[in-house]
Amino acid sequence: MKEIQIYDVFTVSESKENPWAKIGTGFLNCDGSINVILEAYPVSGRLHIRARDSAEKSE
């Protein structure tokens, strides 16, 4: 069975305490597209999507 590719979705702000806020998760589809589920909307309108590494997937 093929491993599911999971992405973390962040918004990046000017905040010095927590500039990277995780606001959602993405999942790679068979056709190469990505479904994104947002738990919050970024005020800036910008998203930063990073592939989750294997160590984080097992948590």
Distance CA(54)–CA(20), nearest Å, equals 20
pTM here is: 0.78
19 by DSSP, 3-state: which?
coil
pLDDT tens digits, 5-59: 999 999 998 878 888 999 999 999 999 999 999 999 998 889 999 999 865 655 5
pLDDT of residue 16: 82
Of 34, 12, 14, 16, which is closest to residue 25 (Cα–Cα)?
A: 34
pLDDT tens digits, 45-57: 899 999 998 656 5
Q: Where are the domains of the chain?
A: 6-54
pLDDT of residue 54: 63
